Amino acid sequence: MTKITFQACAVAAALALPSVAVQAQENTFKVGAIRYTTNSKTNGIQGAGVPPGADAETGDATTLLLTYERALTPNIGVELVIGVPPKITARATGTVAFLGDDVLSAKNVAPTVLVNYHFGAPGDTWRPYLGAGINYTKFVSVKSKLAPDVKMSDSTGLAVQLGIDYAASKDWGVFASIAKVQTKSKLVAAGTTVLTTEIDFRPTTYSFGVSYKF
């Protein structure tokens, strides 16, 4: 091998080292807690015999969060967000407030796919990131004390997030994030009468936990 060829190979190897380092830790797994806060708004509850002004308001929930992110470049990654489905309950408001709490309960299965842009460079102690993507929510275990048969439609909407990663070591770290998700569902409750409404959950989520890179 000539001296020039050897030097060229050495330069190429040196330039390749950063990309090898990135590829060595191109996967990130996160586990933590997520607080699901709703700011719900409906178009009112309609149905035969339902007084004008009848409404409901959904509550908040906390559950386990799991995410997996695959790095495509040193700054861009694709993230799948899942978790244990939280139980969301609703209380009656307006002219039917006397019906009280837990007039409706449901669990929401809500996988979300996000494309994240991480600021800084791999190896930085602090790395803030922005993400945007799509959320799909399916409501299961839907129950109401007002009707024996209750159904809620699925929802697909945009999701955006802002977060920050802190590297405690090469592999381990902690994270925190806040996200907004578009989640709407049409509800139909059939019993002695048929009740309908559309719920715009307008949730904001707050997450924190630990991360592992590999």
pLDDT given for residue 49 in this prediction: 85
* pLDDT class of 10 with cuts at 50, 70, 90: very low
* Per-residue pLDDT tens over the stretch 123-174: 999 999 999 999 999 999 999 988 899 999 999 999 999 999 999 999 999 9
pLDDT given for residue 30 in this prediction: 98
pLDDT given for residue 28 in this prediction: 98
Mean pLDDT to the nearest integer, 208-214: 97
Is the pLDDT reported for residue 12 higher than 70? Answer: no
* pLDDT class of 192 with cuts at 50, 70, 90: confident
pLDDT given for residue 146 in this prediction: 85
pLDDT given for residue 202 in this prediction: 94
Is the pLDDT reported for residue 17 higher than 80? Answer: no
pLDDT given for residue 145 in this prediction: 86
pLDDT given for residue 24 in this prediction: 52
Mean pLDDT to the nearest integer, 168-190: 96
**CA atoms of 210 and 174, how far apart (whole Å):** 4
Out of 17-21, 36-40, 63-67, 111-115, pick the least confident: 17-21
pLDDT given for residue 113 in this prediction: 98
Amino acid type, 183:
T
Is the pLDDT reported for residue 7 higher than 50? Answer: no
Mean pLDDT to the nearest integer, 2-30: 52
Is the pLDDT reported for residue 32 higher than 70? Answer: yes
Q: What is the mean pLDDT of the chain?
A: 89
**CA atoms of 140 and 85, how far apart (whole Å):** 9
**CA atoms of 174 and 126, how far apart (whole Å):** 10
CATH 2.40.160.20 at 25-213, yes or no:
yes
